[in-house]
């Protein structure tokens, strides 16, 4: 049976109800089984993310979209295709593909293994890849411990702790800002090398995270920006994190007047003006290209780099030759 539904914003009356219940009402009362099939088939988005949990409780203001066709998982969202750069008893470092959440939403933590396979997170993929390499069932392995994460549409290097010791010691390194984290990103316009410092708050006044000028409010965020290459109308930047606040690079560059190409969240300035994105970026043009830290047990310095993945490399090549964005 075919279903169509225009995108809608969750109303106050629908707040707190499950996705399945609201969809069923909006669609005119199909069977519960038909509604579940739509969700499991990855045809429903909440905001920018596909939701495969029909029991997810909706919040007022969220935008729900019923897709005409199922949204496939990224090709690399498979444990046998996930690139594992380092594995030992304490840590595992992997190359995260874009389009995959680093960790699971709290409402999805009780999902069965079969259900997780329909919509895996990087945490799931990594545990399955480790199990494959060690030739052991994933359920027999100690759980992975989260010490940092990347946004869903960001690609790049991620480390998971595999022991209590590693979780503690890596957490300490992150808090002391000694972990090397460098990102590549593309922004419109000409931006010079600089260090951006601000205090970030959860709501800058328009419902978005952002910087505040109020004294003793928010958390300090420091981003060191260097220029890698300039194109006509665009700049390829290298951003080194001194701190690692949520969406830090995206916020700092947007507030500097140069939002990351492909960013649909921070393309709006605090005053409400939307920065038009004419770059043609295939997704959020942000990639975690470098990661380094002291091994939590042995103390040796470990370091990895990862070049731009194919989609962003093609985008940058187009800008370099003048074929990638309108003039």
Confidence at residue 170, expressed as pLDDT on a 0 to 100 scale: 97
pLDDT at residue 300 in the model: 96
Q: What domains are there in the chain, each with its CATH number?
A: 8-66 (3.10.290.10), 83-176 (3.30.2350.10), 181-287+317-321 (3.30.2350.10)
What is d(CA 74, CA 85) in angstroms, rounded to the nearest whole number?
A: 19
pLDDT tens digit sequence for 118-135: 778 999 999 999 999 999
Name the residues annotated as catalytic.
151
Percent of all residues in the chain with a pLDDT value above 70, rounded to a whole number? 92
The whole-angstrom separation of Cα 99 and Cα 82 is: 13
Q: Which residue's structure tokens are 């997780």?
A: 116
Q: How confident is the model at residue 69 (pLDDT cuts 50, 70, 90)?
A: confident
Q: Which residues contact 218 (CB under 8 A, 6 or more apart)?
A: 198, 199, 200, 201, 211, 212
> What is the per-residue pLDDT across 207-228, written as a single tens digit (0 to 9) for each?
778 888 888 889 999 999 999 9
Share of the chain above pLDDT 90, in %: 67
pLDDT tens-digit readout, 229-253:
999 999 999 999 999 999 999 999 9
Locate 307 and state its tokens.
Answer: 């070049």
Q: Looking at residue 75, what is its pLDDT?
A: 63
How far is 226 from 205, CA to CA, in rounded Å?
29
Mean pLDDT of 21-30: 93
The pLDDT-based confidence of 114 (bands split at 50, 70, 90) is low
The confidence band for 151, taking pLDDT boundaries of 50, 70 and 90, is very high
pLDDT band of residue 297 (cuts 50, 70, 90) is: very high
More confident: 122 or 273: 122
**pLDDT class for 74, splitting at 50, 70, 90?**
low
Q: What pLDDT shows up at residue 327?
A: 45
Q: How far is CA 281 from CA 58, 71, 230, 249, in A?
A: 30, 19, 16, 17
Burial class (CB in 10 A: 0-12, 13-18, 19+), 192: exposed
């Amino acid at each position: 049976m075919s279903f169509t539904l225009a995108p809608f914003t969750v109303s106050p009356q629908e707040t707190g109800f499950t996705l399945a219940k609201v969809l069923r009402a909006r669609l005119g009362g199909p069977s519960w089984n038909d509604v579940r099939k739509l969700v499991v088939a990855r045809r429903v988005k909440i905001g920018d993310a596909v939701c495969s949990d029909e029991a997810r409780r909706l919040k007022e203001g969220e935008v729900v979209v019923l897709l005409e066709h199922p949204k496939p998982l990224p090709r690399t969202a498979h444990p046998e295709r996930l690139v594992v750069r380092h594995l030992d008893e304490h840590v595992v470092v992997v190359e995260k593909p874009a389009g995959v959440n680093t960790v699971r939403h709290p409402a999805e933590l009780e999902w069965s293994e079969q259900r997780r396979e329909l919509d895996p997170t990087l945490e799931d993929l990594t545990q399955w890849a480790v199990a494959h390499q060690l030739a052991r069932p994933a359920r027999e392995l100690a759980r992975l411990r989260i010490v940092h994460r990347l946004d869903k549409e960001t690609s790049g290097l991620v480390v998971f702790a595999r022991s209590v010791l590693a979780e503690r010691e890596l957490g300490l390194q992150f808090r002391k800002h000694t972990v090397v984290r460098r990102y590549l990103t593309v922004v419109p316009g000409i931006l010079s090398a600089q260090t951006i410092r601000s205090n970030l708050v959860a709501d800058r006044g328009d419902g978005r995270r952002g910087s505040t000028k109020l004294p003793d409010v928010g958390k300090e965020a420091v981003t060191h920006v260097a220029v890698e290459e300039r194109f006509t109308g665009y700049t390829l930047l290298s951003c080194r994190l001194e701190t690692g606040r949520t969406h830090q690079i995206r916020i700092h560059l947007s507030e500097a007047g140069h939002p990351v190409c492909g960013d649909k969240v921070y393309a709006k300035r605090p005053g409400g003006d939307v920065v038009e994105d004419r770059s043609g970026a295939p997704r959020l043009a942000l990639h975690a290209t470098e990661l380094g830290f002291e091994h939590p047990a042995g103390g040796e310095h470990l370091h990895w780099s990862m070049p731009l993945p194919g989609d962003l490399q093609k985008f940058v090549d187009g800008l370099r030759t003048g074929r990638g964005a309108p003039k």
